[in-house]
Amino acid sequence: MRGLLIAGVLGLMSTIAAAAPLAKSGMPKSGPVLAPPGPPIVIAHRGASADRPEHTLASYALAIEQGTDFIEPDLVATKDGHLVARHENEISGTTDVASHPEFAARKRTQTIDGTAFTGWFTEDFTLAELQTLFARERLPQLRPANTAFDGQERIPTLDQIIALAKAATARTGRTIGIYPETKHPSHFRAIGLPLEPPLLAALKQAGWTTAAAPVFIQSFEVQNLKDLHGQTGVRLIQLIDAGVSGDGIAYDALVTPTGLAGVATYAAGIGPARDRIIPRTAAGVLGTATTLVADAHAAGLQVHPWTFRPENYFLAVPYRRGTNPQDRGDAEAEIRLYLETGIDGVFSDLPAAAVAAMAPAR
């Protein structure tokens, strides 16, 4: 999923402290909805990233222990064409690369999807070089406890993540799937490191090539999903944010009935920002649900909104507990409210909360 700009965290402390607790409203109306295809699924967003540094094998393993159905790696490419899991290809915020003098000269600035970034980029490192780095917590201001795990985990490869999911399936008797995101596919294609061929090769090696496989491939871009539709039978998910995709498609156009019908020609579902389902008001409370879930179901699409997080900083006001943005509120109750709209799954940084919220349906 797209990154959170954390600069405003400290400033929000006073905002949360000043906000008066509000009574939880009744269930917003969203019109008639079709029954989801089976129980809603839990997607561990970057693993159990509320409890461990994201995109590490430890984070994915903990998510499995918490009961997730899918683990979600964001995939980026190395200089030698391997796929690894990082939130972004710029890795200064999620690794200790800045402390490695041997890599100091590789710091640079480049423009990705119209935005300039300065730092160290996975495409400038071989896999062997990347695996000399250690992962660290991306949001230490909000998740200081996770910094205790800094320096313990290496950057995992897609192959390692698939092996983890398969081993967990054999051990637990539950099917544990993967839900990879292709990050900045246009950028990687432009520099000669397309993400799709190694991803499809890894899935083929795993025996995952059909819609029955425990796999969803997601992307914020449109064209690479259309291309993938002709190359694999696994399920595809069109991610939807605000604004325009990296390949120039307006997301607002995708969520109209006509746009959703178009998405259904190449994807099995949509992954919208959660506010597109139940918008948050200026007062920080959840408003009236939109018709997006019903409209998507009418087009034959599943709906997996992102991202549900346990900290007060991310929760709507009625679900916060206390005034410290770092403290955890009632994420389970907030997820339950969204489930009543008929969604088919959720991305969560705390899979345990999502599992608990879904307990009556599972």
Catalytic residues: 45, 87
Can you tell me which residue has the tokens 């929000």?
12
Tell me how long the chain is.
362
User: Which phi and psi (to 5°) does residue 359 adopt?
Assistant: -50, -45
Instruction: Please give the full DSSP string across 100-152, using - where no structure is assigned.
Output: -GGGGGG-EEEEETTEEEEE-BGGGS-HHHHTTS-B--S-TTT-GGGGGGTTS
Number of CB atoms found within 10 A of residue 357's CB:
25
* End-to-end Cα separation, the chain, in angstroms: 26
DSSP 163: H
Distance, in Å, from the CA atom of 48 to the CA atom of 30, rounded to the nearest integer, reads 30
- Specify whether the CB–CB gap between 47 and 62 falls below 8 A: yes
Distance, in Å, from the CA atom of 141 to the CA atom of 22, rounded to the nearest integer, reads 26
Closest to 184 in 3D by CA, of 95, 74, 345? 74
Give the bridge partners for 244, in sequence order: 250
User: 63 CB contacts (<8 Å, ≥6 apart)?
Assistant: 44, 47, 48, 71, 351
Instruction: Please give the full DSSP string across 237-284, using - where no structure is assigned.
Output: EEEE-SSB-TTS-BHHHHTSHHHHHHHTTT-SEEEEBGGGTSPBPTTS
User: Which phi and psi (to 5°) does residue 125 adopt?
Assistant: -125, 145
Can you tell me which residue has the tokens 């705390």?
350
